[in-house]
Amino acid sequence: MKADPEQEQEWLRQLSLIYSGLIGIGVVMVQPFLTAASLDLSAKICVVAFSVAIPLLAALVIVNRQEAFRRRMTKSVSVAIAQVVARTSAGVGVVAGFWHILWIAGVGMLDELELDGTGSAWFGEVVSLRWVLIHMVEETARHAGHVDIVRELIDGMTGDHRPA
């Protein structure tokens, strides 16, 4: 079954947008680590992962531009491998960067607040800090290893719900 040319063009446009978004996220996440005196393990993983991902993502943006110009997608094995490595590395970088950020934020928050302290959740109910921490562990476990987090940040869509 041959793909619709308009659908291929839209797919190429979406891939370029995703790759460019991942490059931007990588630059923003890695930048503070570049001037730090020392890095913890999650920060090192973030830097190394984006050091692999960013050049590959930039190359894939260029490949996508060429594919859009030629109005056909490449069937190159090396491009397919680059896509997998770039996406995986970017996913690892995002997860490691968020892990680093959450760890620092969590330590600071736990140092200042009591676990039984309460506040309003996004859905309007009163919840304890303990509930928030457990919810964050659940959400991290749910999304760890998935690039859903990045996609949600890029296009605002959640889960598997797509517009009609």
The answer to whether the beta carbons of residues 126 and 67 sit under 8 Å apart is no
The answer to whether the beta carbons of residues 115 and 129 sit under 8 Å apart is yes
pLDDT value at residue 4: 75
pLDDT value at residue 152: 66
128 assigned to some structural domain: no
* Intervals of the chain under pLDDT 70: 1-3, 103-113, 140-164
125 assigned to some structural domain: no
Could you tell me which residues come within 8 angstroms of residue 87 by beta carbon, excluding any fewer than 6 positions away? 22, 53, 147
55 assigned to some structural domain: yes
137 assigned to some structural domain: no
Q: How many domains does the chain have?
A: 1
Q: Quick count: other Cβ atoms within 10 Å of Cβ 22?
A: 29
Q: Which domain holds residue 89?
A: 5-99+146-155
pLDDT value at residue 162: 54
Gyration radius from the chain CA atoms = 19
Name the amino acid, one letter, at 71.
R
pLDDT value at residue 143: 60
161 assigned to some structural domain: no
The torsion angle over the Cα atoms of residues 103, 108, 109 and 115, rounded to 10 degrees, is 90
Predicted model pTM: 0.57
Could you tell me which residues come within 8 angstroms of residue 17 by beta carbon, excluding any fewer than 6 positions away? 154
Q: What is the pLDDT of residues 51-70, one digit of tens each?
A: 999 999 999 988 888 877 77
d(CA 63, CA 142) in angstroms, rounded, equals: 33
Name the amino acid, one letter, at 72.
R
20 assigned to some structural domain: yes
136 assigned to some structural domain: no
Q: Which tokens sit at 125?
A: 């109910």
According to the 3-state scheme, what is the secondary structure of 83-148? HHHHHHHHHHHHHHHHHHHHHHHHHHHHHHCCCCCEEECCCCCEEEHHHHHHHHHHHHHHHCCCCH
Q: Which tokens sit at 104?
A: 């620092």
